[in-house]
Structures are given as C-alpha cells and as structure tokens.
Chains A and B, each alone.
Chain A
Amino acid sequence: MSVRRAAGARAAHPSVLRIASVYPELLGTYGDGGNAAILATRAGWRGQPAEVVSVQAGDPLPRDCDVYLLGGGEDEPQALAAAGISNGQALGAAVDGGAVLFAVCAGLQIIGTSFPGTDGKVHAGAGLVDLVTTPGATRAVGDLVVDPRSELGLDVLYGYENHRGRTSLGVGLDPLGTVRRGIGNGAGQRLVGGTRGLTGGDVEGIWAARGAGLVVGTYLHGPALAQNPQLADRLLDEAAPGLAPMDSSDARAVAADRAAAALRAARAGQTSRG
C-alpha cells in the first residue's frame, strides 16, 4: 500500500502555511509546543511564511489549516480534548482535504477509536484512523528510539516516551517504524524483516494516508521534532509539496541544524548504553 498521498491533492505553496496547535493547554504536558515552533521556524527558513494558530480548548477547530498538531496530556485533559476534537469532525475533514496531522503520545491515542481513562473507563476517540488503545500492565517510560520504515527515507528517530496505553493498528495500516529501544505501540504487533519496508521488530506509531491528507502518530512525545529535524522537514514537504530546501546562507538555520546534529550525536551515544 502506498503511504504517499495522490499527487496534486493540495495546492503547493500556500501563501502562509497555517499550523494548528490543537488545545495546547490540554495537550501540552511534555513541551509539545516545541513542535509547532520548530515547524513554523523551519518553514520560514525554507522560504515559506508560516503561522502557528493556537486553538484554545472550547473553541471550534479551524478547517483551513495545513498542519494540525496534537500533543500529550494527563488523563482528564486528554478526555476533554478528545471530546472537543470529535465534535464537528473538522479535523477529519481537514485531513481528507489534504492537511497533515502529527499526533504524539495522548494525541496518538485520541485519533483512534478508543482509549482508556482513569478508573478503567473507556473514552471514545476521534476515530480518524483505525487504531485502538488499551491499558498496559505497566507504564512505558524512558528513551524511545525508532527505525522508520525504510520506504520513508528517514534517519533513526530519537525521543522519549511516557504512557500506559498499548496501541494496536487496524488491518492494512502502516506504522511509522519499528522500535530499536523502548516500548512504542507495545501491543504485541510485530513486523518481520522485509515486509512492507520494515526492518523487523515491534511496531511504533502510525503513518497513514487519509483522503488527500496524511496522518502521522508516534509515542515519541513532546518536542519530538527537536531531535528529528528531518521528520519536521518531511511533514512540511507533505503539507506544502515543492518547498525549497533550507537556506544555507541563513546563520540561524545553520546554527539550528548544527545544534540538532550535536544533539543526535549525543543521543546516539546515550541511548546505545545500558
């Protein structure tokens, strides 16, 4: 199955790329605001003006954004956010129309059909993709290192996870990749080497077309794009096909990429030990 959307589904180069930060006061436990700032800043460095649209809880979701970001949150805010996102189906319509959704941690759980709350309660998700989350026996807390599916053409992804949910992907849905270190989706779904471009191992996240748009989800939580600028650029490419590469004469852009390279080198050393 193709993970790429139909070509020409969306006009390239919107005049201003609109990045919706969805309910940051509910889904912002782990520095999630970083992803919006990183995407907007990198878009600017690539010649694409961008703005972050912060959608406050209780407000309706806009349908006209190019990127939607869902972050992590504690149990009650997560339930409140899921109810708000389900209401009106704006997010599904936007993705069907070509938008990119990047959902991390609680956000990953919310886009599925159901997820566990406190006291064994089961909450309905927004149902944007066919995945379901059930409670695990233990909390998955620690470094998470992911090998993206080879057909995505992305380098190894570094980050941190902190969740109790275990997430199963529906039939035919592809993960973001497989777990090198950590738990990831943790629902026992395993893909063997060679199948669908995977390197083998326990699956992590989701990377799925929906309508003309794209849904990417992961347990790499919080400011996942800080350690993985290539993934940030890829999300921008999907949202605005034909973007220019980074302006190598911009000192700030160069400094950011140098900083990210230093961080990735440090994380590679730190996560290969113990």
Chain B
Amino acid sequence: MLALQPALLSRLAANRDVVVVSGTNGKTTTTKLIAAALGDRGLVASNVGGANMTAGVATALAAKPRTAPAVLEVDELYLPRVAPLVAPKVVVLLNITRDQLDRSNETRRIAAVWRALGGELADATVVANVDDPLVVWAALGFSRRVWVAAGQRWALDATVCPACGGLLIRADGGWSCKSCDLCRPEPSVVATRFDQIDIDAVSLPVRLALPGLVNTGNAAIALAAVGVLGMEPAEALVPMSEVSDVQGRYREIVLGGRPARLLLAKNPAGWLEMLELLDETPARPLVIHFHARIADGRDPSWIWDVPLDRLAGRDVHICGERAEDVGVRLAYAGIAYELHGDPAAAAAACAGDGPIDVLATYTAFRELLTASGGLR
C-alpha cells in the first residue's frame, strides 16, 4: 500500500498532531496509554490492533476524522519509512533489544536508522528512554528531546557503545561509555516505583490497572508524549489508569476450567519484565505455552538468557511446540515441571483451584486469545 501511494499516507496525516511509537517491547501498550490520554480531546486514530506494518498505519489514519490527533504504533524497521510521511510532532522511542534472533539481529543497525531519521524530522520532539543506551544514541539525532527514565532491566543488548564501539560501564542505575562521552542523560520524567512518576521533580501518585513497574515505565513515556502536545499530566493520568486489557495482555480468561491471566512475552527482555511481574504472585501456578514459529522467531536459544531460576518453588506446567526446549532449561535450573499436550490440559493439571498465570510467546498467545473469544 505504501509502495503504491506514499502520498496517501501524507495526506491522511496532514493537519493532525501525530505521535509515532516504536521500540522492541511496550509499543502496543504505550500506544494504547497515549490514545487513552488523548481520548477526551477528540478522536484518536490509533492502530492499536498491532497491525503495525505500513498498510496498517494508513488504515488507522483513514478510519478517523481529519483533524483528530493520531497515535501510531510503528514497527522498528518501518519507522524510517513511515515517520517522514506522517510528519510526527512526537516520536516515542522505547527500547531496542534482541527479538526474533533469526531475523533482524543487529540492534545497532536499528539505532542507526532511527538516529538518521532525526535529521529528517526537524519539527519533531523525541521522547526517549534514557535507560537504553541504544535509544539515547538514536535520540541524539533529533534536535528536540524529552528524556524519560522508563527503566530497562535487560542490558545484554547494550554492552558496547553505539557511538564508538567502546565498552559501556553500568553503575548505580546509570551507564556511560568507557571510551567516549556518551552517557545516560538526566531525565525530566522518572518512573522509579510502580506507584509513582516524577515529572520535573514533582511526584505524581500512580495507580494503574495495568500491573508491574514495566507498565509504570510505559505510562511515564506516555505522559511525556502527551505533555509535548500540551496535556496536563494529572489530567492525562486518569484515563490511562483505567486501561486494563491491551490486545488481550493481562486478560482474565477461563482455561482448562481455571481462571487464568494471560501474559505475553516475545523475547528475553519481555520475559524478564514478566518474571518480575510474576514475583508479585509467587503462589500462583504457572503455565508456559511456548512456540517458535516464524512470527515468534524460529530460534528459541534465548530462553537460556532468561533467569527462569526465579520460578523456583512455583508449580510449573509447560506446553507448546517447543515446550521440550523450555523443559531442558528448567531442568538445569533445578525446577520441577510437568509437560502437557495442550494449554487446557496444562491449566487443568495446576495445583489448587485458584487463579493461574499463563505466559506465552507471540503465536502461542494469539492462539489462546482466539480460543477465548478473540479481541474485544
């Protein structure tokens, strides 16, 4: 679609405030949070359906009135093609981590194309996560920046300085390059605790329906983004706090006769965030539904990068096309588990009769969502 009519995309985006959101993890949730915040200022054209390739962007814009602000979730590699066409006022850059190891396996290359994009978007303000060195280096290509401490527990994809190739040193929550002057910028918006966001040193209490510190980080980014459009943080936070189900993530379903909470984790950075979230419910049984299809990435090697030993003491059940790969990982971590033929059987075998958590890879998650009635 874009290849045929790039002018269509430009025309659809004209006369709107456009926010584009990109990154490996959190873009669907952050897009939804921004859309929720902007909701009472009029309609929002947001392709929160996750159809985040180029055709999806044009479809999202065409669906809503001409002047409504637009929030667009854009795939990392498509951002340089889409952003110049929609002339965004705000560009949100969340993080860049390994994802689908069999495909775009050069994280620095993504950072480089984002950085170059900054020179093309003279009127855009970038809202960028200071806790990801790759994002900071990319954001320095933009002339106007809002720095947000949104957190990034996964550090293995930014061990080398994106600017000079030197080693990155991490200490006390910060980071800096050993060889050049790239370092963590001072943020103006900070998500330090799951229930608090500081904006220009003023603390704002936060009570999101979405769980986990990871989502407070996404909310901090969203507040910074709508702040660029002139919204008051306290006002924006009210509708953001009510967002509870993002394309099925965190949805409560019934699986194998058990109440089950659906969790999506597509890559090691996402798994790390979900393990942290699971720490809040240590007594709940866990079902891991694991595929390695094309959309998941065919190579599941990365499960060895995920600290699954944190599941110690939990009742763990595994299923899916590559469940055996997870089984070996768990066995070496000394965690007992049961292997099942399908998610319903796994859920039914869980200890007790209370709620359970179900952690799934992308295609496994879609499968569970479809079985539970699809998207709402």
Contact = CB atoms under 8 A, between A and B. Distances in A.
B65 interface: no
Contact of B156 (A28, A263, A265): A28
Given A226-B328, A262-B339, A26 B160 contact: yes
A259 B160 contact: no
Given A37-B332, A38-B332, A162-B102, A31 B108 contact: no
Given A33-B305, A80-B160, A259 B299 contact: no
A11 to B, nearest CB: 28
A74 interface: yes
A77 B158 CA distance: 10
A262 B340 CA distance: 12
B328 A57 contact: no
Nearest to B309: A37
A72 B187 CA distance: 34
A28 B336 CA distance: 26
Interface string B323-350: 0110111111010100100000000000
Contacts of B327: 259, 262-263
A41 B332 CA distance: 7
B159 A26 contact: yes
Contact of B107 (A74, A80, A255): A74
Contacts of A186: none
Nearest to A74: B106
A30 B301 CA distance: 6
Given A29-B98, A260-B328, A74 B159 contact: no
A30 B100 CA distance: 11
Interface string A22-35: 00011011111110
Given A33-B305, A58-B178, A25 B156 contact: yes
Contact of A30 (B101, B165, B328, B334): B101
A76 B160 contact: yes
A25 B101 contact: no
Nearest to B107: A74
Interface residues of A, number: 41
B101 A259 contact: no
Given A252-B334, A259-B324, A223 B101 contact: no
A137 interface: no
A16 interface: no
Contacts of A37: 304, 332
B228 interface: no
A112 interface: no
B346 to A, nearest CB: 15
B301 A76 contact: no
Interface string B101-118: 110011110000000000
Contacts of B102: 141-142, 160, 162
A243 B106 CA distance: 41
A222 interface: yes
Contact of B108 (A74, A141, A223, A263): A74
A41 B6 CA distance: 56
Interface in B133-166: 156, 159-160, 165
Interface of A: 25-26, 28-34, 37-38, 41, 57-58, 74-77, 79-80, 141-143, 160, 162, 221-223, 226-227, 252, 255-256, 258-260, 262-263, 265-267
Interface of B: 98, 101-102, 105-108, 156, 159-160, 165, 167, 178, 298-299, 301-305, 322, 324-325, 327-332, 334, 336, 339
Rank and list the top 9 A-B pairs by shortest CB-CB distance, nearest first. A34-B304, A31-B304, A222-B301, A25-B159, A31-B301, A263-B324, A259-B331, A256-B331, A223-B304
Given A226-B328, A252-B334, A255-B336, 20 more contacts: A25-B156, A26-B160, A28-B156, A28-B305, A32-B304, A37-B332, A57-B167, A74-B105, A74-B106, A76-B108, A77-B159, A142-B102, A142-B298, A162-B299, A222-B299, A222-B301, A252-B331, A256-B328, A263-B328, A266-B322
19 contacts: A26-B159, A29-B101, A30-B301, A32-B304, A34-B301, A34-B304, A41-B332, A142-B102, A142-B298, A160-B298, A160-B301, A162-B101, A162-B102, A226-B329, A227-B328, A259-B328, A262-B327, A266-B322, A266-B324
